[in-house]
């Protein structure tokens, strides 16, 4: 006697086992292997989508299928009125992430929605591409748009001289080109929630890892315009959003602590000697209660630069605490000399 349930189970198993190898031709492959029509094959595949076992991307000939709970998904979404990052997350990304711990789900949700929303609201682009990959116990989230580029956007908004300065202001936190809609905290906290956080835009590559940052010109010119952001985290990570937020927040004022890379305030070939350089470094930092200046990569500083930060600015903002880290002996000498006056 023919057992319909067994046959359905066999077809279901076949679909779920083969989808990652046949994401673009799953229906055709299924029809060929079971010797039935594409229409019937489509019915079986659609059932697995409705049951939450498959994720469908695109329409007609551009349709692709991915395994919910699988190791990979990629999709493009047009930027248009009504596009909501939380709906994109729930439909396409959450099914891939849901098997991990609550902390990884929370970190992924925060990072994805923040960065995807930035592309919607700020990129001036027409398309957002997303790729999620799970490999070697590492979760990788890539979000890319074809807009004007995040560093270029900030440079134009603040009338800055260089893209490097854009990265400086972005890294501080609390900076946004649209303060009516955004707090500017998203990238700051996302970069600290993930194990690594990288931005490629305007031929510059900025990466943040373990409270340390790296900046270099991008030699791969194939990327073109727009912004490419890559976030990675171990699926075994014990990080929690609360622990990260608590590290930089104050009960009374909220987000009140920031770490600033001093080397981002000027070209690497220019010494940090002038008051103007110090003022650019300090711009916008009056929003914080505690400022930690990271002198990594700084060989020396001038008297005027130090005086502007540790005397003039401090006198103008007596309630702000200014600390410093990663200063070599020469820099420490100049700072202590400035503080003694």
Which CATH number goes with the domain that contains 13? 1.10.10.10
Residues 272 and 264: beta-carbon distance below 8 Å: no
> Which one of 240, 272, 298 terminates a domain?
240
Q: Are residues 124 and 218 in the same domain?
A: yes
Please say if the pLDDT value at position 171 is more than 90: no
228-246 as b/e, with b when 16 or more CB fall inside 10 Å?
Answer: bbbbbbeeebebbbeebbe
- Assigned domain for 246 exists: no
Please say if the pLDDT value at position 305 is more than 90: yes
- Assigned domain for 305 exists: yes
Q: Are residues 263 and 186 in the same domain?
A: no
Please say if the pLDDT value at position 306 is more than 60: yes
Burial (CB count <10 Å: 0-12, 13-18, 19+), residue 39:
exposed
- Assigned domain for 99 exists: yes
Top-confidence residue, 338 or 182: 338
Q: Are residues 118 and 224 in the same domain?
A: yes
Counting the structural domains of the chain, the total is: 3
Residue-level pLDDT at 112: 97
Residue pLDDT, tens place only, 100-114? 999 999 999 999 999
Confidence of residue 265 (pLDDT cuts 50, 70, 90): confident
**Least confident among 167-176, 227-236, 307-316:** 167-176
Q: Are residues 273 and 220 in the same domain?
A: no
Q: What are phi and psi of 276, to 5 degrees?
A: -65, -40
Q: Are residues 60 and 82 in the same domain?
A: no
Please say if the pLDDT value at position 123 is more than 60: yes
Residue-level pLDDT at 140: 98
Q: Are residues 19 and 112 in the same domain?
A: no
Residue-level pLDDT at 2: 43
Domain of 41? 4-67
Which residue, 95, 80, 71, is CA-closest to 128? Answer: 80
Burial (CB count <10 Å: 0-12, 13-18, 19+), residue 273:
middle
54 SS3 class: strand
Q: What is the DSSP string of 202-267?
A: TTEEEEEETTEEEEEE---TTS-SSEEEEEEEETT----HHHHHHHHEETTTEE-EEEEEGGGGS-
**Tokens representing 233?**
């985290």
Residues 257 and 250: beta-carbon distance below 8 Å: yes
Please say if the pLDDT value at position 255 is more than 80: no
Q: Are residues 214 and 235 in the same domain?
A: yes
What count of Cα atoms within 13 Å lies in the side-chain half-sphere of residue 190? Answer: 27
**Average pLDDT over every residue of 247-256:** 63
CATH number for position 285: 3.30.750
Residue pLDDT, tens place only, 184-199? 678 888 999 999 999 9
Q: Are residues 93 and 37 in the same domain?
A: no
β-strand partners of 249 = 255
**CA–CA dist 309, 313 (Å, integer):** 5
Mean per-residue pLDDT over the chain, rounded? 87
Q: Are residues 76 and 199 in the same domain?
A: yes
Q: Are residues 161 and 260 in the same domain?
A: no
- Assigned domain for 170 exists: yes
Please say if the pLDDT value at position 259 is more than 70: yes
Top-confidence residue, 174 or 139: 139
- Assigned domain for 26 exists: yes
CATH number for position 225: 3.30.565.10
- Assigned domain for 333 exists: yes
Residue pLDDT, tens place only, 58-74? 888 889 999 998 999 99
Confidence of residue 314 (pLDDT cuts 50, 70, 90): very high
pLDDT above 70 covers a percentage of the chain that reads 89
CB neighbourhood size of 144 (10 A): 23
Q: What is the DSSP string of 56-101?
A: EESSGGG-EEEETTSSEEEEEEE--TT--HHHHIIIIIHHHHTTS-
> Which one of 67, 94, 112 terminates a domain?
67
- Assigned domain for 247 exists: no
Residue-level pLDDT at 159: 85
- Assigned domain for 245 exists: no
Residue-level pLDDT at 6: 67
Confidence of residue 164 (pLDDT cuts 50, 70, 90): confident
> Which one of 195, 214, 240 terminates a domain?
240
Confidence of residue 1 (pLDDT cuts 50, 70, 90): very low
Residue pLDDT, tens place only, 7-25? 888 999 999 999 999 999 9
Q: Are residues 121 and 150 in the same domain?
A: yes
Q: Are residues 280 and 305 in the same domain?
A: yes
Confidence of residue 252 (pLDDT cuts 50, 70, 90): very low
């Amino acid at each position: 006697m023919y057992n319909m349930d067994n046959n359905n189970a066999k077809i279901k198993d076949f679909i779920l086992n083969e989808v990652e190898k046949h994401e673009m031709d799953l229906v055709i492959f299924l029809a060929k292997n079971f010797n039935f029509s594409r229409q019937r094959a489509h019915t079986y595949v659609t059932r697995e989508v409705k049951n939450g076992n498959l994720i469908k991307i695109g329409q007609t000939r551009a349709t692709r299928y991915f395994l919910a709970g699988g190791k990979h998904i990629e999709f493009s979404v047009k930027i248009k009125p009504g596009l909501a990052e939380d709906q994109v997350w729930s439909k396409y990304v959450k099914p891939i992430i849901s098997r991990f711990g609550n902390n990884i789900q929370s970190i992924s949700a925060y990072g994805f929605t923040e960065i995807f929303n930035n592309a919607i609201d700020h990129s001036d682009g027409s398309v957002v591409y997303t790729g999620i990959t799970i490999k070697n116990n590492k979760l990788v989230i890539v979000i890319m748009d074809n807009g004007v580029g995040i560093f270029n956007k900030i440079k134009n908004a603040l009338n800055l001289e260089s893209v490097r300065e854009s990265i400086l202001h972005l890294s501080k936190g609390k900076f946004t080109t649209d303060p009516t809609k955004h707090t500017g905290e998203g990238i700051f906290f996302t970069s600290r929630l993930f194990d690594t956080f990288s931005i490629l835009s305007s031929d510059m590559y900025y990466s943040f890892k373990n409270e340390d940052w790296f900046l270099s010109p991008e030699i791969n010119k194939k990327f073109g315009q727009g912004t490419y952001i890559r976030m990675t985290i171990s699926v075994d990570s014990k990080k929690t959003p609360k622990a990260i937020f608590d590290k930089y927040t104050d009960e009374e004022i909220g987000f009140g602590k920031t770490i600033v890379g001093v080397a981002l305030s000027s070209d690497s070939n220019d010494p940090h000697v002038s008051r103007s350089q110090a003022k650019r470094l300090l711009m916008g930092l009056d929003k914080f209660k505690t400022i930690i200046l990271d002198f990594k990569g700084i060989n020396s500083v001038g008297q005027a630069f130090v005086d502007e930060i540790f005397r003039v600015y401090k006198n103008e903002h007596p309630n702000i605490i200014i600390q410093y880290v990663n200063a070599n002996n020469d820099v420490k000498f100049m700072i202590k000399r400035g503080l003694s006056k």
